[in-house]
């Protein structure tokens, strides 16, 4: 599958043929509750996705049956834990179409993955005058680590322009690329706008100029299959909790030759081959970058989440999500005083908006009182909010377990909020 999902033709307000969201919802126990006296409408999936029962149960089963440290234990529990832990790594490698499971590193999430590369690769490779290009729509986690290492090494971090629709300016990027650019860091999908960036094309342009490419995949991983070989990126990262898995664990995929040349990020535990006061030698990939006892239960949970996602009709799920977004945006255009923020042609899963005269935080509170969960604020993407000259937005973000009734409930709650504020 290509890096961008197809733009599906849908009939707003109708069930998506071949995908039964109501059936899928039954797998997610948290969705079946009342909030403030109303059935929950969960539209904060860009912040974190909910967990199916199979993921919850896999983690419970690990702690009840297999809890032990991995790799070094000489007993059955450790053997079972190690098998599940490394089995989850292989599942991730297959899920991303990585050439080798040794290219899959466990992290605490996308943020730590970016910090790892910025600290390890950046400190060993950047020289004064080098440049790092970062898109203007990035999450703070894909800006600040580069700024930190750039300040330390005498390099600079520069923003790739984004137009008024929220689309990355590839022509401007082409003009910025030169021999001093060492890294291009972009999100696969903008968490604030929903824009899908053409990362394969960006990688082609960056590699032609001799630069590496880091892709923050946190917002893309749950929406369609990701093929890191087809994208030809040097690094790809995501967080498990964006993929219906647990918080506190994530993944960094790296090109093997680049990872092997990078020094360790932290010291201790599994990343060591041998230690003496005369010197220390480090372990091979992937363990060179995995200091200390890992989040074993988190890896088990992520493995179960991948099993769950793989059990679904992913094309049908993508069609359903596209239908929800089309339906929601059409309803939004009919609301007087409502402004959509981020109207790129290629989008997925996110509808950010503002209502004239209403602060996003106040609107979010009024929606929550009616059981509708959204996110408000700058979404850790302050530079793009500054570009739009707004303090933030209300963000409704969709997953395959959302329904057209959820969208209708959102707009009914918006109307009640408008009446309250008048």
Q: Report pLDDT digits (tens) over 104-153.
A: 999 999 999 999 999 999 999 999 999 999 999 999 999 999 999 999 99
Dist. CA 292–CA 272, nearest whole Å: 10
Find the mean pLDDT for residues 164-171. 98
Question: 129 and 174 share a domain?
Answer: yes
> Which residues are catalytic, by number?
380
Find the mean pLDDT for residues 320-341. 96
CATH classification at residue 383: 3.90.1150.10
Dist. CA 243–CA 54, nearest whole Å: 13
Provide CB contacts within 8 A for 329, sequence distance 6+: 340, 351
> What pTM, to 2 d.p., does this model score?
0.94
Question: 302 and 333 share a domain?
Answer: no
In the chain, the number of structural domains is 2
Find the mean pLDDT for residues 297-314. 97
Question: 324 and 336 share a domain?
Answer: yes
Range of the domain at 119: 56-310
Max Cα-Cα span within the chain:
74
In a domain, 321, yes or no: yes
Does the pLDDT at position 329 exceed 50? yes
- Per-residue pLDDT at 418: 86
Question: 163 and 128 share a domain?
Answer: yes
Question: 47 and 120 share a domain?
Answer: no
138 CB burial (10 A radius; 0-12, 13-18, 19+): buried
Dist. CA 261–CA 271, nearest whole Å: 15
Does the pLDDT at position 10 exceed 70? no
Question: 317 and 239 share a domain?
Answer: no
How does pLDDT run across 190-226, given as a tens digit for each residue? 999 999 999 999 999 999 999 999 999 999 999 999 9
202 CB burial (10 A radius; 0-12, 13-18, 19+): buried
Question: 166 and 41 share a domain?
Answer: no
Last-in-domain residue among 248, 281, 310: 310
- Per-residue pLDDT at 8: 29
In a domain, 1, yes or no: no
- Per-residue pLDDT at 270: 86
In a domain, 159, yes or no: yes
Asked if 313 and 321 touch (Cβ cutoff 8 Å), the reply is no
Does the pLDDT at position 9 exceed 70? no
Q: Please, which pLDDT band fits residue 18 given cuts at 50, 70 and 90?
A: low
Q: Please, which pLDDT band fits residue 42 given cuts at 50, 70 and 90?
A: very high
Question: 157 and 259 share a domain?
Answer: yes
| Beta bridge partner(s), residue 339 | 354
In a domain, 10, yes or no: no
- Spell out the SS3 assignment of the chain: CCCCCCCCCCCCCCCCCCCCHHHHHCCCHHHCCEECCEECEECECCCCCCCCHHHHHHHHHHHHHHCCCCCCCCCHHHHHHHHHHHHHHHHHHHHHCCCCHHHEEEECCHHHHHHHHHHHHHHHHCCCCCEEEEECCCCHHHCHHHHHHHHHHCCEEEEECECCCCCECHHHHHHHCCCCEEEEEEECECCCCCEECCHHHHHHHHHHCCCEEEEECCCCCCCCCCCHHHHCCCEEEEEHHHHCCCCCCEEEEECHHHHHHCCCCCCCHHHEEEEECCEEEECCCCHHHCCCCCCHHHHHHHHHHHHHHHCCCHHHHHHHHHHHHHHHHHHHHCCCCEEEECCCCCECCEEEEEECCCCHHHHHHHHHCCCEECEEECCCCHHHHHHHCCCCEEEEECCCCCCHHHHHHHHHHHHHHHHHHC
Does the pLDDT at position 324 exceed 90? yes
How does pLDDT run across 64-93, given as a tens digit for each residue? 999 999 998 789 999 999 999 999 999 999
Last-in-domain residue among 263, 281, 310: 310
In a domain, 168, yes or no: yes
Dist. CA 236–CA 253, nearest whole Å: 5
Q: Please, which pLDDT band fits residue 349 given cuts at 50, 70 and 90?
A: very high
Last-in-domain residue among 295, 310, 325: 310
In a domain, 11, yes or no: no
CA distances from 193 to 145, 165, 261, 327, 346 (A): 22, 9, 35, 17, 11
Does the pLDDT at position 159 exceed 90? yes
Question: 223 and 369 share a domain?
Answer: no
CATH classification at residue 136: 3.40.640.10
In a domain, 15, yes or no: no
In a domain, 197, yes or no: yes
- Per-residue pLDDT at 402: 98
Question: 237 and 142 share a domain?
Answer: yes
Does the pLDDT at position 57 exceed 70? yes
Question: 317 and 396 share a domain?
Answer: yes
Question: 195 and 270 share a domain?
Answer: yes
């Amino acid at each position: 599958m290509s890096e961008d999902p197809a733009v599906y033709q849908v009939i707003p307000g109708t069930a998506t043929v071949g995908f039964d969201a109501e059936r899928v919802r039954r797998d997610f126990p948290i969705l079946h509750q009342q909030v403030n006296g109303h059935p929950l409408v969960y539209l904060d999936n860009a912040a974190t996705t909910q967990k199916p029962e199979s993921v919850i149960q896999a983690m419970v089963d690990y702690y009840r049956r297999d809890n032990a440290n991995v790799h070094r234990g000489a007993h059955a529990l450790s053997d079972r834990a190690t098998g599940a832990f490394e089995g989850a790594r292989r599942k991730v490698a297959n899920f991303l179409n990585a050439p080798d499971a040794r290219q899959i590193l466990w992290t605490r999430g996308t943020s730590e993955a970016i910090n790892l590369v910025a600290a390890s690769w950046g400190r060993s490779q950047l020289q004064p005058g080098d440049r790092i290009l970062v898109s203007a729509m990035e999450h703070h986690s894909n800006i600040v680590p580069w700024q930190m290492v750039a300040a330390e090494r005498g390099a600079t971090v520069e923003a790739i322009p984004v137009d008024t629709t929220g689309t990355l300016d590839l022509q401007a990027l082409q003009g910025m690329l030169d021999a001093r650019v060492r890294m291009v860091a972009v999100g696969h999908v903008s968490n604030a706008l929903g824009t899908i960036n053409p990362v394969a094309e960006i990688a082609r342009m960056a590699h032609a100029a001799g630069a590496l490419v880091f892709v923050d995949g946190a917002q893309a991983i749950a929406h369609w299959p990701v093929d890191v070989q087809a994208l030809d990126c040097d690094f790809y990262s995501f967080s498990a909790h964006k993929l219906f898995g647990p918080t506190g664990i994530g993944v960094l995929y790296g090109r093997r030759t680049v990872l092997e040349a990078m020094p360790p990020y932290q010291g201790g535990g599994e990343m060591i081959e041998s230690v003496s006061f005369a010197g220390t030698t480090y372990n091979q990939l992937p363990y060179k970058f995995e200091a200390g006892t890992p989040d074993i239960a988190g890896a088990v949970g992520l493995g179960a989440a991948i099993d769950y996602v793989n059990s679904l009709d992913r094309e049908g799920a993508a069609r359903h999500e596209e239908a929800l977004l089309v339906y929601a945006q059409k309803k939004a255009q009919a609301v007087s005083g409502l402004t959509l923020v981020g109207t790129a042609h290629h989008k997925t899963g996110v509808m950010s908006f503002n209502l004239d005269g209403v602060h996003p935080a106040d609107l979010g509170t009024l929606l929550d009182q009616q059981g509708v969960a959204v996110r408000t604020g700058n979404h850790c993407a302050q530079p793009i909010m500054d570009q739009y000259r707004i303090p933030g937005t209300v963000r409704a973000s969709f997953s395959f377990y959302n329904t057209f009734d959820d969208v209708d409930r959102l707009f009914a709650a918006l109307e009640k909020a408008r009446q309250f504020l008048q």
